[in-house]
Structure 1
Amino acid sequence: MRVWALPLALLALVSCVTQSVPRRQQQTRAPIVPAKPAVIDPVALAKRLASIQAGWPRSRQFDCARIKCVALTFDDGPGEHTWRLLDMLRQRDVRATFFVVGQMVAADKGGRIVHRIVDDGHEIGNHSWSHPSLSGVSHEELQRQLQYTDEIVWRLTGVKMRVMRPPYGATNSNVAAETRREGLAQILWNVDTLDWRDRVATIVARRAGGAKPGSIILMHDIHRSTVDAVPSILDTLAKKGYTFVTVSELYGKTPTPGQMYTER
């Protein structure tokens, strides 16, 4: 992967409407102001790299072709509610997949939250640098959106991400080709909680509770109401006999770069 210096500002992005499956309506988002690059402790990073090279992510073997598995996924963070969510998941020994936005990672000084995501055994994925519709940007901007985020996560955690989620689910042949070059599988979803629109925990929990075996559930850890819904979601799906897995665990291996996945 080519190494790019983190920018203090990105070029203006060009938007266009494209088709993708599944695709959710683009919500109104407050602009994310780029932060200064996080300060990296080289000694601490060296220790993390040694630990990670010894075995990350933690190996857990599930045969999701035979048991009822579901993958919880969280987009757009890390944010102010992510730490509380991680506490909830740790208490129940549940693993999830977090698709992080590069600017949000940069704003978390020292990478405290992404460190914990990795340390707790969760999967971490690329959700672009500033959350544009990737199908509507230039090839050069597409590269920057993916590579800047890959770079900051690697510098902070020593992890090379293997999965990504295109913002809004907006993908096309150009996104597929670039993600293949970057070694990133495209992970979409088949259960959309619409938690960005309906900020009510009971509604979010009810939608997530309708998952089927092999489902990938879309949520956002930047919303308090979503994090509030998580205990109910875990209770409901656990009572139905589901095992909570990361995206890669759902498939039993790292998904194929460039390929698009919506469920098992």
Structure 2
Amino acid sequence: MHRRLVISVAVSALCGAMLAGTAAPASAAAPAAVDCRKVKCVALTFDDGPVADTQRLLRTLNDRNVKATFYVVGKNVQRYPSTVRSTASAGHQIGNHSWDHADLTRLSAAQIKSQFSRADTAIKQATGKKPTTVRAPYGAHNAAVRQAAARPLVHWSVDTLDWKYRDSARIINTVKTQTKPGDIVLLHDIHKTTVNAVPGIIQALKARGFHFVTVDQLFAPAKLPAGKVTYHNRAAYRP
């Protein structure tokens, strides 16, 4: 009787929420606990999306239980909010990559602030959370950009040049040969050749004993300072 009562109460509560036009929020798939001070970690980061092909990338990452960080462009978030929502729900980290990928160093202080705030708004509307890190388009930054970011600027330590060389095999080889423990790898999910390369990247790095983590996980338990740029690998930030 007690078991039937518990089930009945749970079903009633769910039905009540549905009738009220609400539903219990789906909990995000939290990244597995990994201490990157003790094991080999790498953070794969994907810039400039989301685009239609981002969903294929998400399936690839999910099938292989890999977490990554996505530095998204606000206007693309506005176009594909459900994709960003799915990305966050799967346990990936979302970062701010400006509103429309402008070279922020060529803008006024007010314009830079608008680039970040408009992207923040779009991301928060899609995911319910404001990003904790930003990445400046092209890696271009100055004092005004760092001040407007008001958060850590996370750049990269391995540049695949996937935007220049649309060659999946080349991308895989670059990541395989250049990645060291604590590295942040720059990729772009807007290119199909990059998404095609991801299974090979994962296979190559897993064979070398790497754990795939988000940017926040990579530096934990240390907290990156706001307004500072992170280029180098995890070893430089050990607490």
* TM-score bracket for this pair, using the shorter chain length: 0.7 to 0.9
Inter-partner Cα distance in structure 2 for 1:123 and 1:174: 25
Aligned to 2:229: 260
Identify unmatched segments of 5+ residues in structure 1.
Answer: 1-42
In structure 1, the residue matched to 2:114 is 144
Deviation at 1:139, TM superposition (A): 0.5
Q: CA RMSD in A?
A: 1.6
1:256 Cα deviation from its structure 2 partner: 2.6
- The answer to whether the 8 Å contact 1:102/1:129 transfers is yes
Measure how far apart 1:255 and its partner are. Answer: 2.8
Corresponding position of 2:189: 221
Matched, 1:124 2:94: yes
Q: Which structure features the higher share of helix residues?
A: 2
Q: Runs (4+) of structure 1 moved beyond 4 Å?
A: none
Structure number with greater Rg is 2
Distance 2:121 2:194 in 1: 28
Structure 1 Cα separation of the partners of residues 111 and 72 of structure 2: 18
Letter of the 1:219 partner, please give it: L
Query: What's the secondary structure of 2:225's corresponding residue?
Result: coil
Using the alignment, how far apart are the partners of 2:58 and 2:210 within structure 1? 19
**In structure 2, how many angstroms separate the alpha carbons of the residues matched to 1:191 and 1:185?**
18
Q: What's the offset of the Cα at 1:57?
A: 7.3
* 2:156–2:230 CA contact under 8 A, matched in 1: yes
**Overall identity of the aligned pairs, in %:** 40
Q: Matches of 1:160 and 1:250 in 2, distance apart?
A: 19
Where does residue 11 of structure 1 map in the other structure?
none
Residue 14 of structure 2 corresponds to which residue in structure 1? none
Residue 225 of structure 1 aligns to a residue whose secondary structure is helix
Cα distance in 1, alignment partners of residues 32 and 128 from structure 2: 20
Which residue among 215, 223, 229 is the counterpart of 1:247? Answer: 215
SS in 2 for 1:77: coil
Distance of 1:218 and 1:211 partners within structure 2: 11
Structure 2, unaligned stretches of length 5 or more?
A: 1-20, 235-239
1:196 equivalent in structure 2: 163
Measure how far apart 1:47 and its partner are.
4.8
Distance 2:89 2:225 in 1: 24
Contact 1:192-1:218 within 8 A present in 2 as well: yes
Q: Residues 139-178 of structure 1 correspond to what in structure 2 (within 5 A)?
A: 139-178=109-148
The answer as to 2:54 corresponding to 1:82 is yes
Q: CA separation in 2, counterparts of 1:75 and 1:192?
A: 12
1:150-180 Cα distance to aligned partner (Å, 9 max, x none): 0011112101110110000001111111112
Instruction: Choose the corresponding residue for 1:101, options 73, 85, 90.
Output: 73
The offset of 1:62, in angstroms, is: 1.8
Give the CA deviation at 1:59. 5.4
